[in-house]
Amino acid sequence: MKKTLTVVTLLAAGASQAAGIAIDTQGSRATGMGSTGVASSKDASSIYYNPAGILGVKTLDVQLGDSLILGHLGFTANATGVEQTQNPVSPPPHGYIVYKPIEQFAVGVGVFTPFGANSKWPEDFVGRQIARESKVATFDINPTLAYAPLSWLRLGVGFQSVYGTLDASRQIVVPPPSPAAGATGEVAFSTSAWGIGYNAGIQAELLQGTVTLGAQYRSRVVMNLVGDADFSGFPDPVAPAFPDQQVQLSVELPASLGLGASVKPLEKLTLAVDVNWVQWSAVQQLLFEFQTTPAFNQPSVKNWEDRWNFHVGGEYLVTNALAVRAGFVYDPTPSPAETLAPDLPDADRIRVSLGAGYAFGGFRVDAAYQFVSLLKTESTFPPLPGTYQGSAHVIGLTLGYSH
């Protein structure tokens, strides 16, 4: 129960729709436009995409929505040639409210899930001693301010208070020389913690109503999770060697930098391009520390690498009330082949999105769909080499009100 217990607990990504454990479908307008928003967001969801953009609201803007993620991920072990799959479902919600009392100043708060995962392998999974089931969610409470020192320049800053929860389990085989060697049991984890960080952004309208450039930065968030490890199912002779106990794990959620451009070549057409850098190298190894049995402590090496992901999207106003959207994303995995394991399955991803929005009075409804292709990825992870491949469907719906 040493090496891989550490990773399965916090970072089991399952088939969430972004590489690593990131979730960038935090507003259905942006989701339909390929999760762009660094330069093109000008509503309350800008709290996530670029805090400077909240100055684009009229006086009040409220949004509430969800992004249902339906994933299918297959693993084929080289030793058996048999594919086994998991089909997790994750519903990360989002909500925002922004108030702009004067033209140059706006204030708001958002609640969303920037990182999360849901992974569940079948009972007979070949890698069940590495990973069986895990569920992770981080909830970001993000109060935000924005100010426009010039008519064409918008600045924004926010404070992140992040609450993270974790539930996970895996099988354990009793090792020799125990008289019960070969017997199995299970360990289940439940931990939680708070962490803090900040975000900041800028939007510059170079040609009024035509060209906008943007940049935003989100800081790292260090989380020291504390909770319980519960052991069960072991035969009586060895059960005392696996006592229930407190555990802790320090994890660093990565910093990110987004750069974007938004262009309106026609009055009714908006095109957007974003490139985002994520400091995944913060995840080099993880160490789960057991309070009662420190002999179980052993780091799990991941050696993740920093990555850029690329987004393009567009929006066309069919009428003053109806908008249609489309987008494309290329999102490479941060995991090298030699550390890619079923506790944290991942792959390079291509995403194609469609969306639409309809406004009536002060109300609006935005819907979006993303198809995610998890490209075939070879793992050379020594205990369990094989191939990962799959797909996911993301269905987003956001309800809004503004005046």
Rounded to whole angstroms, how far apart are CA atoms 189 and 295? 18
If one compares 290 and 342, the residue with the highest pLDDT of the two is 290
Q: What are phi and psi of 219, to 5 degrees?
A: -75, 165
**Token pair for 166:** 């974790």
Considering just the CA atoms, what is the radius of gyration of the chain in Å? 22
Average pLDDT, the chain: 89
Where does the pLDDT of residue 236 fall: very low under 50, low under 70, confident under 90, or very high at 90 and above? confident
CA distance between the termini of the chain: 57
CB 319: neighbour CB atoms within 10 A? 9
HEC states along the chain?
A: CCCCHHHHHHHCCCCCCCCCCECCCCCHHHHHCCCCCCCCCCCCCHHHHCHHHHHHCCCEEEEEEEEEEEEEEEEEECCCCCEEEECCEECCEEEEEEEEEECCEEEEEEEECCEEEEEECCCCCCCCCCCCEEEEEEEEEEEEEEEEEECCEEEEEEEEEEEEEEEEEEEEECCCCCCCCCCEEEEEEEEEEEEEEEEEEEEEEEECCCEEEEEEEECCEEEEEEEEEEEECCCCCCHHHCCCEEEEEEEEECCEEEEEEEEEEECCEEEEEEEEEECHHHCCEECEEECCCHHHCCCEECCCCCEEEEEEEEEEECCCCEEEEEEEEEECCCCCHHHCCCCCCCCCEEEEEEEEEEEECCEEEEEEEEEEEEEEEEECCCCCCEEEEEEEEEEEEEEEEEC
Contact 86, 118 (CB under 8 A): no
Contact 11, 62 (CB under 8 A): no
Looking at residue 250, its pLDDT comes to 86
By CB atoms closer than 10 A (0-12, 13-18, 19+), residue 254 is: buried
Looking at residue 325, its pLDDT comes to 98
Answer whether residue 205 shows pLDDT above 90.
yes
Answer whether residue 182 shows pLDDT above 50.
yes
Rounded to whole angstroms, how far apart are CA atoms 389 and 356? 29
267: Cβ contacts below 8 Å, ≥ 6 apart: none
List, in sequence order, every residue forming a beta bridge with 58; answer none if it has no partner.
none
Amino acid identity at 139:
F
Answer whether residue 1 shows pLDDT above 60.
no
What is the β-pairing status of strands 89-90 and 60-77? antiparallel
Peptide bond into 177 cis (omega under 30): yes
Topology of domain 5-402, per CATH? Porin (2.40.160)
Looking at residue 273, its pLDDT comes to 98
Q: In the chain, pLDDT over 90 holds for what percent of residues?
A: 59
Where does the pLDDT of residue 129 fall: very low under 50, low under 70, confident under 90, or very high at 90 and above? confident
**Token pair for 260:** 């974007």
Whole-structure pTM over 0.85, yes or no? yes
Looking at residue 342, its pLDDT comes to 78
Looking at residue 349, its pLDDT comes to 92
Answer whether residue 88 shows pLDDT above 70.
no
384: Cβ contacts below 8 Å, ≥ 6 apart: 77, 126, 127, 130, 341, 342
Q: What are phi and psi of 118, to 5 degrees?
A: -150, 110
If one compares 82 and 332, the residue with the highest pLDDT of the two is 332
Q: pLDDT of 17-67, one tens digit each?
A: 566 678 899 999 999 999 999 999 999 999 999 999 999 999 999 999 998
Where does the pLDDT of residue 128 fall: very low under 50, low under 70, confident under 90, or very high at 90 and above? confident
CB 135: neighbour CB atoms within 10 A? 19
Show me where the domains of the chain are located: 5-402
Contact 33, 49 (CB under 8 A): no
Where does the pLDDT of residue 75 fall: very low under 50, low under 70, confident under 90, or very high at 90 and above? confident
Answer whether residue 242 shows pLDDT above 80.
yes
Contact 113, 92 (CB under 8 A): yes
